[in-house]
């Protein structure tokens, strides 16, 4: 029930997936909100540290997610999934990971531009590995924003595809990310 197997996703993968979704949506919303604030508004000063802390937690969670994938097999494709569907699903995952890591990396570069390492709620401070100049910080900020929007668009398409699988194709694609698979020793009844 914790680990993935040939029939579906385990509880760990499902929790990490949905926590990542919530973090990404929250970070996107907070980021957009912060860009609309003036210097004298309280969240102009509070928002960035929250944004950075959750972004760093998302980075750690995403790295853990990739490590988990090395030790927990992916479920087999459903029988009705054509090569095109498999390719599209794999491509969407690869693109999402690339976008997420780009946004996380540019966020780190923006944060370290003044020579101070980012921290998670003041508990842990990360080192400054690269310090960008003013022009490059602006470029990193533009990339950060554009790729954040790209994550939202690709994730929305990913979600839409899951809904099409559930309501139109009527297969278990979405259900596999909502309900943990039973252990392989359990019977296949109720799947």
Is 191 within a domain?
A: no
Could you tell me the pLDDT band of residue 185, with boundaries at 50, 70 and 90? low
- CATH number of the domain where residue 126 is located: 1.20.950
Tokens 């385990």 sit on residue: 10
Position 77 scores a pLDDT of: 85
Could you tell me the pLDDT band of residue 61, with boundaries at 50, 70 and 90? very high
Number of structural domains (the chain) is: 1
Give the closest residue to 154 by CA, choosing from 106, 89, 101, 108: 89
DSSP 94-105: HHHHHHHHHHHH
Digit-coded pLDDT (tens) for 145-177: 999 999 999 999 999 999 999 999 999 999 999
Is 81 within a domain?
A: no
Helix axes 42-71, 11-35, angle to 10 degrees: 150
Give the closest residue to 169 by CA, choosing from 72, 76, 50, 80: 80
SS3 call for 157: helix
Decide which of 76 and 58 is more confident.
58
Is 101 within a domain?
A: yes
Position 184 scores a pLDDT of: 56
Could you tell me the pLDDT band of residue 189, with boundaries at 50, 70 and 90? very low
Is 189 within a domain?
A: no
Q: Residue 166: give the domain boundaries.
A: 11-76+86-176
Digit-coded pLDDT (tens) for 111-148: 999 899 999 999 999 999 989 888 899 999 999 999 99
Is 140 within a domain?
A: yes
| Over residues 67-82, mean pLDDT | 86
Q: Where are the beta strands (DSSP E) in the chain?
A: 119-120, 124-125
């Amino acid at each position: 029930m914790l680990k993935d197997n040939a029939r579906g996703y385990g509880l760990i993968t499902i929790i990490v997936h949905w926590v990542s979704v919530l973090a990404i949506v929250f970070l996107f919303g907070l980021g957009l909100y912060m860009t609309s604030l003036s210097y004298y508004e309280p969240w102009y000063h509070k928002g960035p540290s929250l944004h950075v802390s959750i972004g760093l937690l998302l980075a750690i969670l995403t790295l853990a997610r990739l490590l988990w994938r090395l030790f927990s097999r992916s479920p087999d494709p459903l029988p009705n999934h054509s090569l095109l569907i498999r390719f599209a699903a794999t491509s969407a995952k690869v693109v999402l990971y690339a976008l997420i890591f780009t946004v996380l990396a540019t966020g780190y570069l923006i944060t370290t531009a003044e020579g101070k390492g980012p921290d998670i709620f003041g508990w842990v401070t990360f080192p400054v590995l690269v310090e960008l100049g003013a022009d490059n910080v602006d470029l990193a900020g533009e990339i950060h924003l554009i790729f954040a929007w790209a994550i939202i668009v690709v994730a929305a398409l990913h979600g839409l595809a899951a809904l099409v699988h559930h309501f139109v194709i009527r297969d278990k694609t979405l259900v596999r990310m909502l309900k943990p698979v039973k252990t392989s020793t359990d019977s296949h009844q109720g799947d």
